[in-house]
Amino acid sequence: MYIAAAPDLVILNQRIKDVIFVLSDFSNRREPDRSRVEYINHLRTDLCAYYGYNEFLMDKLLELFPPSELVELLEANEVQRPVTIRTNTLKTRRGDLAQALINRGVNLDPVGKWSKVGLVIYDSQVPIGATPEYLAGHYMLQGAASLLPVMALAPKENERILDMCSAPGGKTTHIAALMKNTGVLFANDAVKDRAKAIVGNLHRLGITNTIVSVEDGRKFSKLISGFDRVLCDAPCSGTGVVSKDPSVKASKDEKDILRCATMQRQLLLAAIDCTNAHSKTGGYIVYSTCSILPEENECVVDYALKRRSVKLVPTGLDFGKEGLSKYREHRFHPSLKLCRRFYPHINNFDGFFVCKFKKFSNVIPGEAPKNPNTEVKTEDTSDVKTEPDSPNVVNGNAEKMNKNIGKKQKRKKDHNNPEATSDTSQNSPQIKKIKTEGKKGKNKAKASFSSNPVEEEAHEKTVNSSIQGADSEKSKQNQVTTQNSGGFKANKKKGRNENKGDKIKIKVGKKKNFSNKKGRM
């Protein structure tokens, strides 16, 4: 039985270095009878044998990095990342925590200038996950890269925030600490057993503003929406955390990448739908993965930009490499340069991808709004929509209120001004009837007394006096009904004088009419 000998790692390593040396200046260093493709194929085979990757994943990495940088990445993936912790600012300060751990024999340093809460642990004489400070909730064991999405999200106090894929709760507790236990934070995860870890960490760290749910994140927008900010740290292939899970090297294939990319697109669209574009303080979505493959990052982001009313904004992270605007045959939106990529061989923590969206409309492109006339902005920036069967409920209530206010103002004006009441009585049905009869009487008078101008003039005065009498009777009725009002009492004396004037006018009119009748006799 023949057993293949293990490859000589020293020979493989030297051959890899020689091929990389040739490829760095291929036109001058290559052998005349060998093409670039042959050199690449030899390099792929040697890298897979030396580092233990399958050919599919190694091809993906060769497409993403030049050969010299790829070796640096592969070497960094062979080294464990340093242990980092995040200070729980709800219970202590980083300086006090560092001093307490140093007194217990822990060698540590700040994780970097970019973080105010992170500490990196080099070595320790006690288990970091079992110190009295840990049990008291003074810190959380958390990778340095996991701090980045929350920093990009930048949560504010008294906001309504969703962490769509939150287990085991590192990012959730970080968000709650920045919110200072105010507002409402929803921590969701699709796996019930993983959600138990969220509850345990929330209790240990003293978080009181968080609601834990176990729902499919892809359907979460149908359950509840209107959040100020949403964090979508989507499940991925894990190509950025190979040092934690070496099985990724040989276990991932094209189907796994496509399956992850499909789920990430659905989760990202659901996260955008959960966000309220009219939020006064937010309207932001942060998408992050622990993968370095463009299929799970830039391709997913570009897909969301084309299907939702969002745009990319700066993440607020002043380090890391820019996102890719082109990759192989793909050409992405230029704004993808605002995304940030982090690599183990450059930043000394896990590979990560972070981008930040700003939602500017709740309307989905290509879909007409269900009822655009009934969307109302309220003080809490949530969209209030009426039922589909009553499209004008809001507008109808406003019209009724305006009518009621107008009636009240008119009634108040009539109480304070009796003259206006008597003037408006000219349009009443009784006055219109009298005027109509007066016009008919005028026509008859003209027909019967057209030969006598004096009699015609007397008849006109008779009709006018009857109209004035009806006016005065109407004004009396209005004054009687408004005697108990405050405005009428204030003008009571004035009203009596005006009524006397009306009576005098009526008497004079009757006297003239009587004299005219007498003269006609």
The yes-or-no verdict on residue 304 having pLDDT over 80 is yes
Average pLDDT over residues 321-343: 93
- Taken in order of first residue, the domains within the chain and their CATH numbers are 9-78 (no CATH), 83-141 (3.30.70.1170), 144-359 (3.40.50.150)
Residue 61 — φ and ψ, nearest 5°? Answer: -70, -35
Residue, of 252 and 479, whose pLDDT is higher: 252
Q: Look at residue 472 in the predicted model and tell me its pLDDT.
A: 54
Tell me how far apart the alpha carbons of residues 181 and 196 are, in angstroms, rounded to a whole number. Answer: 20
Q: Look at residue 480 in the predicted model and tell me its pLDDT.
A: 46
Q: Among the options 232, 236, 260, 290, which is catalytic?
A: 290
Q: Look at residue 405 in the predicted model and tell me its pLDDT.
A: 52
Q: Tell me, yes or no, if 299 is annotated catalytic.
A: no
Range from 306-315, 371-380, 386-395, 496-505 that averages highest in pLDDT: 306-315
Tell me how far apart the alpha carbons of residues 50 and 390 are, in angstroms, rounded to a whole number. Answer: 69
**Does 169 appear as a known binding residue?**
yes
Q: Could you tell me the pLDDT band of residue 368, with boundaries at 50, 70 and 90?
A: low
Tell me how far apart the alpha carbons of residues 514 and 458 are, in angstroms, rounded to a whole number. Answer: 9
**Does 339 appear as a known binding residue?**
no
**Does 502 appear as a known binding residue?**
no
Six-digit token pair at 463?
């009709």
Angle of CA points 221, 297, 268, to nearest 5°: 5
Residue, of 134 and 481, whose pLDDT is higher: 134
pLDDT tens for 80-115 read 999 999 999 999 999 999 999 999 999 999 999 999
Q: Look at residue 366 in the predicted model and tell me its pLDDT.
A: 77
Tell me how far apart the alpha carbons of residues 36 and 48 are, in angstroms, rounded to a whole number. Answer: 18
**Does 435 appear as a known binding residue?**
no
**Does 105 appear as a known binding residue?**
no
What is the SS3 assignment for 316? Answer: coil
pLDDT tens for 49-86 read 999 999 999 999 999 999 999 999 999 999 999 999 99
**Does 501 appear as a known binding residue?**
no
The yes-or-no verdict on residue 229 having pLDDT over 70 is yes
Angle of CA points 31, 32, 38, to nearest 5°: 60
- For residue 364, CA distances in Å to 112, 152, 261, 264, 281 come to 41, 25, 21, 18, 21
**Does 351 appear as a known binding residue?**
no
Q: Look at residue 8 in the predicted model and tell me its pLDDT.
A: 80
Tell me how far apart the alpha carbons of residues 172 and 161 are, in angstroms, rounded to a whole number. Answer: 10
The residue whose two tokens read 């202590």 is 92
Q: Look at residue 438 in the predicted model and tell me its pLDDT.
A: 55
pLDDT tens for 23-32 read 988 888 888 8
**Does 167 appear as a known binding residue?**
yes
Average pLDDT over residues 498-510: 44
Sequence-separated contacts (24+) of 346-349 with Cβ below 8 Å: 346/321, 347/145, 347/319, 347/320, 348/76, 348/81, 348/82, 349/81, 349/84, 349/143, 349/144, 349/145
SS3 readout for 359-422: ECCCCCCCCCCCCHHHCEECCCCCEECCCCCCCCHHHHHHHHHHHHHHHHHHHHHHHHCHHHHH
**Does 380 appear as a known binding residue?**
no
Contacts of 1 by beta carbon, 8 Å cutoff, 6+ apart? none
Average pLDDT over residues 429-455: 50
**DSSP β-bridge partners for residue 322:** 340
